A = this chain, B = another copy of it.
Amino acid sequence: MRRTLVVAAAMLMAVVSLRALTPAVYSPTDALTPDEYWTIYRVLRDSGHTDEKTLFPSILLHEPDKAYVLAWKPGEPIERKADVVLYEDGHSYSASVDIAHKKLLDYQELKGEQAPFTSTEEHAFDDIIKHDPRVMAALKKRGITDLNLVYCYTSAAGYVGLKEQDGRRIGWGGCMYTDGMTHPMDREIGGIFTVEDMGAKKVLRVTDYGAVPVPANSSIYDNDGGPALPGTKPIVISQPGGPSFTIKDGEVSWQNWHFRYRFDPRTGPTIQQVSLEDNGKRRSVLYEGSLSEMFVPYQDTEETWNSHVFLDAGEYFMDTGLGMIKPLYPGIDCPDYATFLSATFYKESGQPFQRPQVACIFERTAGDPSWRHMDDDGTIYGRPGRELVFRTVAVVGNYDYIMDWRFEQEGAMKIAVGATGVLEVKPVKELKYTDEHVGDFTGKDENGKPLEFGHLIAPGLDGVDHDHFFSFRLDLDVDGTKNTFMDDKLVQYKLPVTTGRKTIWAMQPTMPATEGEAKMNIDLSHPEMWRFANTSVKNSLGYPTSFEIMPGETGVSLLAADDWPQMRGGYSAHELWVTPYDPNERYAAGVYVPGSKATDGLPTWTKKNRNIMDTDIVAWYTMGFHHVPRPEDWPQMPTMWHEVTIRPFDFYDKSPLMDLPMQP
């Protein structure tokens, strides 16, 4: 009896001290807490809409409208709602839950639209595929009889207009043979292609494109057991006084920057209410910025591989257990002096869980001057620079994407994506490339000129060509919500014949009036500067204050416009889109992506051709790159970085770097 009491007291203390660490809601845009997830779960269960078999592919905070968020003051009650997508036996349902009032606001079965894929759903097929007689026959034809070493899978299929897709939830699959395996990524059994009806849990079709030997195992994570590269002497970095940033009630403050963040299960790190302190006043820069979609179409002549068309954020964010925000490894993914942040997510069964160290935040100095000048008299002036990095890592199957938001002292933000991880590889007959351009991965164009499909990255392993197109939704609010998109064109200007020069270039300011006019493509012969300006707020020189979106290396899709993958990932046709703010427009390829026929998303919305002048507007930046794999990308890809910079332009009256300290 006594003993029980003691335990109860200890538990009470534990609860109290845990409460301080428990995720809390400080602002209407903060992430869902464990308590809130439980409320959502109970409301849905108690309303009779879920049972033991129900899957929860999507539980997302329903962000309140911007006007509400901006008007809301700390201490006031907070409106909290969640959008939920449920899946059971081939049926998808949407639900809306009022968390504060523990109330189901809406519930309906989705018709024509489908829930995101879950790991549970996909793995339900492993054995069904393997034991399909057609698959067994194909395995046997290849001399594979030890079914214990065969692993078959299915993956979400992107809609491509095949008859078998009509009205169904379809998966596409294949098998791997793990005999002799050290790592599964190169164990595909070539030529076997399966089509599954995910709802009916049935294999619809098995196509055998012909046997290809399972290649020799080449996957080695490590240095073949050899010692690490010798002679590397340590670089020791520390912050003995701690970091210079603070995190209070979910807000990060560093130098002149303030921002909030939410770890959103679908879009990953979502940066909010970013402002710059200027003469004691907080000036708004970005209401919200996050990834909006990822489009990764593979490029191969064979259906086994050109079916790999992923819209990862919308289709797969739950597939490998919240792929968008994965744990970090201190000392590898972030410096070990970084501050690590935890987050709350949910399982496919609808139950919340917490993960530690899913994000890190750290200052770093590269040893570069933020500015410097040497005068004619030889005197050198300058200041060393540093930056603040807010980092997460998304892992979507084979690929790892390091996602950085970098805050610069000059008032710029950089979004950087570092792609690493393991290539997707296809077994081919060739162990070596021959100059004659023959083999599984070579061909000819209509003029008889040679073409190469993919690239050998190890004997018998073709690194399949593919693209990455990230869409970043950037709800810039420069000095307020009403902004105008400025497209400043640099144009040749013919000088009158008074001097020796015939031409100069000048800047031609234009303001696209509608979203239809604001589908931007980069042309290096006709350079443009893209800015979000507030025409009602002027800097001391009379210019509208603005932020410029400066692309880094990027690219657009090469697929035909009427090809289904391209229609579904249609945002990849332009590097920049500008739309008026609409709280329902958050995902560049639409809300419900699996099986979608491109009826939602940027190409659809912008057909309305709405006004984008002097109103609340949103930028959608496409960061794209094409990848012809190299042997150097195997067995692990060296991290390849791409970035976009958003920097002040006429926002300040002068450089904000002049008061930096002399220490980096």
Contact = CB atoms under 8 A, between A and B. Distances in A.
A492 B632 contact: no
Given A227-B659, A234-B663, A369 B402 contact: yes
Contact of A657 (B303, B328, B638): B638
Interface stretch (A7-15, A285-293, A331-339): A331-339
A160 B239 contact: no
A459 B654 CA distance: 11
A371 B639 contact: yes
A524 B525 contact: no
A244 interface: yes
A509 B452 contact: yes
Given A371-B639, A374-B327, A465-B505, A632 B654 contact: yes
B301 A541 contact: no
Interface in A310-331: 320, 326-329, 331
Contact of A228 (B505, B521, B660): B660
A389 interface: yes
Contacts of A242: 233
Given A505-B626, A631-B652, A639-B371, A364 B500 contact: no
A606 interface: no
A235 B365 contact: yes
Contact of A506 (B329, B452, B499, B542): B452
Given A367-B364, A522-B524, A553-B553, A564 B386 contact: no
Contacts of A566: 503
A374 B389 contact: no
B638 A654 contact: no
Given A320-B376, A402-B369, A449-B508, A500 B160 contact: yes
A632 B659 contact: no
Interface residues of A, number: 176
A200 interface: no
A353 interface: no
B333 A372 contact: yes
A508 B223 contact: no
A519 interface: no
A385 interface: yes
A434 interface: yes
A67 B176 CA distance: 53
A234 B664 CA distance: 7
A237 B237 contact: yes
A658 B220 contact: yes
Contact of A524 (B362, B554, B562, B564): B554
Interface stretch (A68-76, A84-92, A136-144, A643-651): A643-651
A222 B382 CA distance: 9
A410 interface: yes
A563 interface: yes
A54 interface: no
Given A228-B662, A331-B384, A393-B372, A233 B239 contact: yes
Contact of A525 (B381, B521, B565, B655): B521
B453 A504 contact: yes
Contacts of A443: 493, 506
A236 B234 contact: no
Contacts of A366: 364, 366
Contacts of A362: 367
A193 B376 CA distance: 23
A184 B76 CA distance: 55
A239 B383 CA distance: 22
A631 B654 contact: yes
A659 B222 CA distance: 7
A221 B410 contact: no
Interface in A456-492: 456-459, 465, 467, 488, 490-492
A374 B328 CA distance: 9
Contacts of A656: 632
A162 interface: yes
A26 interface: no
A206 B384 CA distance: 43
A280 to B, nearest CB: 13
Nearest to A305: B504
Contacts of A662: 228, 331-332
A384 B362 CA distance: 16
Nearest to A535: B435
B631 A539 contact: yes
B235 A499 contact: no
Interface string A560-571: 101111100000
A564 B162 CA distance: 59
A418 interface: yes
B237 A255 contact: no
B661 A634 contact: no
A500 B166 CA distance: 12
Given A504-B306, A556-B525, A558-B491, A636 B660 contact: no
A338 B664 CA distance: 14
Interface string A529-557: 10000000001111100000011111110
13 contacts: A220-B658, A237-B365, A299-B505, A371-B420, A371-B636, A371-B637, A372-B421, A373-B422, A452-B509, A502-B562, A524-B556, A632-B649, A632-B655
Given A228-B662, A307-B499, A445-B493, 19 more contacts: A228-B660, A229-B661, A232-B255, A232-B386, A234-B241, A234-B664, A235-B239, A235-B364, A236-B236, A237-B365, A299-B505, A303-B498, A327-B378, A333-B372, A371-B638, A451-B493, A494-B560, A521-B525, A529-B628
Q: Give 4 closest A-B pairs by Cβ, nearest first.
A: A160-B500, A223-B659, A335-B367, A432-B542
